[in-house]
A and B are shown apart, each in its own frame.
Chain A
Amino acid sequence: MAAANDHTVLQFASPSPTPTATTAILTARIHPLVIFNVCDCFVRRPDSAERVIGTLLGSILPDGTVDIRNSYAVPHNESSDQVAVDIDYHHNMLASHLKVNPKEIIVGWYSTGLGVNGGSALIHDFYAREVTNPIHLTVDTGFTNGEGSIKAFVSSNLSLGDRQLAAQFQEVPVDLRMVEAERVGYDVLKATAVDKLPSDLEGMEQTMERLLALINDVYKYVDNVVEGQTSPDNNIGRFIADAVASLPKLPPQVFDNLVNDSLQDQLLLLYLSSITRTQLSLAEKLNTAAQLL
């Protein structure tokens, strides 16, 4: 048999590249909206379902990273031996989403729950028909093992020489980009209820406090090192030196001038806006109070 010739190595072949695909998928980047979506769909699932599945939308970057930006749930039925997925729904939602943002295409699918099982393989197969090399994301909403793990898998073929044995879910590193979430503010997104959105000045205050805390920490660290309580770490020392050196070296006179000029500009703007406000109230009084006859 042909297998006897190459019986040495069980190979993991990387997914065969189609003429259009470029490279194998290396990492997955997930935006926080996807996680929110998945959790929301899980919370709203029909009582009979154990887990929720859905489609992932995003784009594939030329360096092999999959950028997952959006998602939607797809109703499905799962029993021990078969899986039924509402394909029409999937296509309808996809069409609707593409109308809004034609750049976000299917890149894979997600399911809640920890591992992958037989049903997942079938569903993965279905999605493989939609897009080459779909990525499968598991979001552990059950918090087994005491942590909510988010893992991404790609299907790779297990082959023995020329014969295909099976397809295996191979894990792919996940990069959670939280930049937008940070911008919105973790306090707002983390708490179960926030009473009011922080205003500009409150945000400013918080930032200042944090900066102050950081500077204090650095001070303490440097003091400790000087007194010999902590061993000096060259890397940290270099970072600190860089940070301090990044303050521009201006003679104090020039700097003062700069600051004063900016201050005066801001004051001017404030003055202008107050004048405008007075003008508005005056105009309004004149408008509605004017009477003839």
Chain B
Amino acid sequence: MDRTGHDFSTKPKLKTKLNPVGLLDPSPLKMAKSCKGLAEELVKCLSDSMCVKDEKRSIRDCAGEKSPCIPSECVGLRETYFNCKRGQPSQTDSFSPLISSADTVTVFTAGRSFIITVDHHSMATMARSFLQAISKDEAVAPPLRVVQIEGLAVLKVIKHCKEFAPTLVTGQLLGLDVGSVLEVTNCFPFPVRDDDEEIEADGANYQLEMMRCLREVNVDNNTVGWYQSTVLGSYQTVELIETFMNYQENIKRCVCIIYDPSKADLGVLALKALKLSDSFMELYRAGNFTGEKLREKNFSWMDIFEEIPIKVSNSALVSAFMTELETDTPVSQGDYDRLHSSTTPFLENNMEFLIKCMDDLSMEQQKFQYYYRNLSRQQAQQQAWLQKRRTENMARKSAGEEPLPEEDPSNPIFKPIPEPSRLESFLITNQVSNFCGQINGVAGQNFSRLYLTKALHDN
């Protein structure tokens, strides 16, 4: 696909792809505490708990309980201790065991993803039964309607993306999944890396380290998705879809936030939250993108990605500070940017990308045409062969011999030609429509600006 062949100066491609590499050997990873220390803390916690104090049961007895008999920190400590004994890294999340998946810690690096399966045999029955009991009540999770981001996370994303522009960067989003709202409370960036095989483990290490450290200062370290920067909105690639599928296997609901730093120069906060639609995910898992399948489901290129509205929230303290620190000018930097009338570079770049995408699209079309031509040719061949067979059979019948079968699977003209997948063309179509939308928006803004200058001049 020549889209990948574009040189960096024109259309930088995000060189990241998340692939499950399988079980990671846990030995190179550092462990948080020694197991003996954990055992002591567990005993201390249990001896303070309601179970031992009020119900007067033995500590061993209480160790098998689940909350609310013993506080949730003890549950978390217990699990950490068991995992330590098995010599494997523990779950990253003990604040909200309902949300993260029960027994895998998935580490997503900018280049690879590692699925560290934590063995939970004896614990599984107790921990799982609790989770199962809860999950039965939430059999159908409410659909995701809104993504609520904290101002802190927004600033962090913007800062990271801007600093490294035009390189494309990614980072992890942390937060909570509550009902129909996905809250993003914090995030951390991934270091920019080249595609080196040796530093795979480094990426996983970095991530575990960050999550552990953030947990110590009470930040929700529950992964809810990732963010990435983009150039002029050209983010719909196969890698994005694959990353989504990887995340979806492990987290029930995840979202991808896309930020476009080039649009910030126009004074627009270009933040978007994306998610793959469910119907698309089923199709992708089936791996089948043929025409009939798509027609059955009435699925068009617009149904691949769903954009979710973003809400921004801030803690009261932060808003108090901001209110106090806000400068009193009625005009802000954002306004200056917006009134700037030289949008030509932006538009030019957009047009360039648009043209390239149209070229790609026409190439895809040609593939389809080729396929259809082949198909019809093959069918004509089949018909001709069938005719020949039929006449032969007639001749044989009249000669009193066995008729030959009317099908011959070994004949190459009967080999079914695989239909090319439409996924690429859908993605390209998405991108093209994105570009068109952007151009529309900017052109509209330009109209307003032009009329403004006209009015000023007349005055």
Residues of A within 8 A of B (CB): 31-33, 35-37, 39-46, 69-70, 72-73, 75, 86, 89, 92-93, 95-96, 99-101, 141, 143, 147-148, 176, 178-186, 188-198, 200-201, 203-204, 206-208, 210-211, 213-214, 247, 250, 252, 255, 259, 262-263, 266-267, 269-270, 272-274, 276-277, 280, 283-284, 287-293
Contacts and interface: CB of A to CB of B under 8 A. Distances in A.
Contacts of A46: 218
A92 B325 CA distance: 32
6 contacts: A92-B213, A143-B320, A197-B310, A207-B267, A247-B456, A273-B435
A61 to B, nearest CB: 16
B376 to A, nearest CB: 6
Contact of A184 (B158, B313, B425, B432): B158
Chain A interface secondary structure, helix, strand, loop or mixed? helix
Contacts of B435: 273
Given A186-B322, A211-B339, A292-B372, A193 B429 contact: no
B334 A75 contact: no
Contact of A289 (B295, B325, B334): B295
Given A31-B159, A143-B320, A210-B335, 10 more contacts: A40-B318, A183-B334, A191-B312, A191-B314, A203-B338, A259-B450, A259-B454, A266-B443, A276-B436, A292-B376
A96 B452 CA distance: 49
Nearest to A255: B457
B62 interface: no
A201 B450 contact: no
Interface stretch (B8-16, B52-60, B183-191): B183-191
Contacts of B43: none
B209 interface: yes
Contacts of A179: 333
B301 interface: yes
Contacts of A181: 155, 322
B312 A188 contact: yes
Select the residue from B192, B332, B446 with max chain A CB neighbours within 10 A. Answer: B332
B432 A280 contact: yes
Nearest to B441: A200
B325 A183 contact: no
B319 A96 contact: no
B354 interface: yes
Contacts of A284: 300-301, 429
B312 A193 contact: yes
Nearest to B425: A287
